[in-house]
Structure 1
Amino acid sequence: MIGKAALPLLLLPALPCMAGSLQFSQPLDCTLGETCFIQNFVDRDPGPGWRDHLCGALSYDGHQGTDFALPTVADMAAGVTVRAAAPGRVLRTRDGEEDGAMAAGADVSAAECGNAVVIAHEDGWQSVYCHLREGSVRVQPGAIVLNGAPLAEVGMSGAAAFPHLHFALYHNGQLVDPFQPDLTESCTLAPTDTLFEPELTAAATGLIAAGFATTPPDYATIQTELPRLDTTTATAPALIAWGYGWGIQAGDILRVHIDGPGGFSFTHDTPFDAPKVRFYRLAGKKMPPGGWPPGPYRATLEILRAGTPVATREIRIEITD
């Protein structure tokens, strides 16, 4: 996460004429809400607080970009390509910054943006791509790139506490929020208001993943690589359902409901008294006397806001003799 791009922006003479009006595509290879999600939007509050374009809290003070986050470090290690969001000329690049340096306690103040690429587009536009994976930058300053050209891979370099792409847009040196460029304060967003083509639908709240466990997984494990458990035995010490999500708001409830053979039914509500950019919660039952009845079990996890589900995940596990 960064408060500013931390790479000097350089306005160049206009690029050669490009047909049609400038539009921006999604700048990385992922499916929003499934294999990536937006963890932070541009901060729209000019004061010491913060506010996203929907008047929510999915940002932080002074945040000048959109953070496209990957669920885990393992997803970063598998490689997710960052692509040019529009045709243009590469202005500046940086590589060689270590991934995870900030998490390891290193001073990254001299390179908050980490490994990065800055591209100049027509009509005074620039796009900035930060926190790229070390050693992955594929372009050099001066290169002309087409829309969708591979630039690098998503990383965790610079001031990044999690693997993500910090994507920022500037027009004539001024920051622009691609999800609401006209600076209105209506707290609503019609899809045609964004600068993305095709339009991006970015949920402000959701469940990244959910799963079963027989002992509680720690949060560090969830963030590194999602555990997967499809089967267990009748003597498992507990049956736990966990949920990992983003954008929870104060007053929301995470409801976990598990049902299974022999009329087994369990429901637990976890209320949230403060907003959280990411969250991890779990609920479950200890093994009953005589063990778990064999068969299929199902858990439904819901984020409830004012009693209405805003996100749902369903998971299953098979218990054997």
Structure 2
Amino acid sequence: MRTTLLAFLSLAVPATAGDFSLSNPIDCDLDGPCFIQQYVDHDPSGDASDFACSGLSYDGHKGTDFALPTDDMIAEGVDVLATADGVVAGLRDGMDDVRYSAETAASVEGRECGNGLVLRHADGWETQYCHLRRGSVTVTRGQKIEAGDVVGQVGMSGRAEFPHLHLSVRKDGAVVDPFEPDGKITCGVVEEDTLWSDMPSYRAGGIISIGTAANVPEFSAIRANTVPTPAPDSDALVIYAFMFGTQKGDVIRLALDGPTGEVIARDVLLKRAQAQSFRAIGKKRRGTQWAAGTYRGTATLLRGKQVIDQRDVTLSLP
């Protein structure tokens, strides 16, 4: 089996959809637990801006990133689906699912897409699917594919800092944003002429997950979904929120109430924009044990006076 992949191209140009349309490329609800982390960059300068004139992109980003909330979902298996009828023009498999870092950069140089494939469609259209799970690619070069067919599973191979599918769309070799194919950005106006048969909703950042812990957890544990549950004799009770697409000036409001009243509540100011981040607050135990009963936590992400997202969690202590 050949293991070649077509390379990314660098220039986004206006395009018209015509009869070409895309279906959802990931078998996961994008309103939760999955989400879109980043979009095509429309800012020609060294900064970045997505099609909604917001910051869910990075400089030179040429696709849309459909993200899993935690690393353990890679092993569970989330299918990647062909977005349109086509023919497999290139593929690669066999790369490990390892979070990209300075230490791994040399090993993926020239193979930044990781495991993936390219589908060639009619009228000069192509779609490329990157960062698939090792061993999950189910197609062969030259195979005819229909929209909705499983072509692999979401992974973290290649240049990927979180588990996701990177989908690139091209017309006659040039990158096209499926959310804004004509390239004409009008801030504050919802684009209606997209490539999507059913356009995914736009979330301007949000809360990936919320949880409780016995101490401030490591970010790696939150990403891996391995944070231990607090016990009655834990030294502290902590509530944390795992977030994406936050902006400078956002506020994450964290609160935890217990069977005897409020345990802790605080507004935390986010001082810089971050693709993914977490914040936590906690309170040390006084006495031999925490009160038995149900604890309820809430995380609210605020941008100015607007509520961007809100999540709840419960904890039962015997």
**Which whole-Å CA distance do the structure 2 matches of 1:291 and 1:251 have between them?**
37
Residue 301 of structure 1 aligns to a residue whose secondary structure is strand
Same amino acid, percent of matched pairs: 39
User: Any idea what the Cα deviations from partners look like across 1:225-283, whole Å, max 9, x if unmatched?
Assistant: 24363x731x3211111110101111100000112222335211110121111011111
Distance 1:248 1:8 in 2: 31
Q: Deviations over 1:163-214 (max 9, x none)?
A: 1111010111121111122212212352633321222113121111111111
Single out whichever of 72-81 and 261-270 deviates more from structure 2: 261-270
Aligned to 1:13: none
- How many positions carry a matched residue from both structures? 304
CA distance, structure 1, for counterparts of residue 114 and residue 242 of structure 2: 27
2:105–2:159 contact (8 Å) kept in structure 1 = no
> Which residue does 1:161 correspond to in 2?
161
Distance 1:299 1:101 in 2: 30
Shift of 1:105: 2.1
Which residue does the alignment assign to 2:92?
A: 94
CA distance in 1, matches of 2:109, 2:96: 13
TM-score norm. by structure 2 comes to 0.90
Which of the residues 26, 29, 32 maps onto 1:31? 29
Instruction: After TM superposition, list the pairs within 5 Å mapping 1:150-299 onto structure 2.
Output: 150-190=150-190, 192-227=192-227, 229=229, 232-233=231-232, 235-289=233-287, 291-299=289-297
Which residue of the partner structure matches residue 13 of structure 2?
none
Counterpart Cα distance in 2 of 1:290 and 1:186? 59
Q: Which runs of 5+ in 1 are unaligned?
A: 1-5, 11-19
Contact 2:216 2:282 in 1 (8 A): no
User: Aligned partners of 1:101 and 1:249: how far apart in 2?
Assistant: 24
Q: Secondary structure at the match of 2:281?
A: strand
Instruction: Supply the distance in 2 between the matched residues of 1:84 and 1:133 (Cα, whole angstroms).
Output: 15
The 3 A distance-change label for structure 1 pair 314 and 172 is: same
Contact kept in structure 1, 2:23 and 2:84, CA below 8 Å? yes
Amino acid at match of 2:211: G
CA contact (8 A) 2:68 2:163 kept: yes
SS in 1 for 2:110: helix
Alignment partner of 2:78 out of 80, 92, 98: 80
Q: Does residue 115 of structure 1 match 2:115? A: yes
Q: Distance in 2 between matches of 1:297 and 1:91?
A: 53
2:38 to 37, 40, 43: 40
| Local SS of the residue matching 2:72 | helix
2:161 & 2:261 partners in 1: Cα distance? Answer: 43
RMSD: 2.0
Equivalent residues of 2:255, 2:299 under 8 A apart = yes
- Paired AA for residue 200 in structure 1: P
Going from structure 1 to structure 2, the CA distance change for 1:147 and 1:268 (only over 3 Å counts) comes to same
Moved more, 282-291 or 28-37: 282-291
1:55-89 C-alpha deviation (Å, 9 max, x unpaired): 11111111100011111221111111111000011
Match of 1:136 in 2: 136
Residues 1:251 and 1:80: Cα distance change in structure 2 (over 3 Å): same
Distance 1:274 1:78 in 2: 33
Where 1:223 maps in the other structure, the secondary structure is: helix
Q: Which residue identity lines up with residue 22 of structure 1 in the other structure?
A: F
Secondary structure of 2:30's counterpart equals coil
Code of the aligned partner of 1:243: A
Which amino acid counterpart does residue 6 of structure 2 have in structure 1?
Answer: L
SS in 2 for 1:75: helix
State the TM-score, normalizing by the size of structure 1.
0.89
Give the corresponding residue for 1:308.
Answer: 306
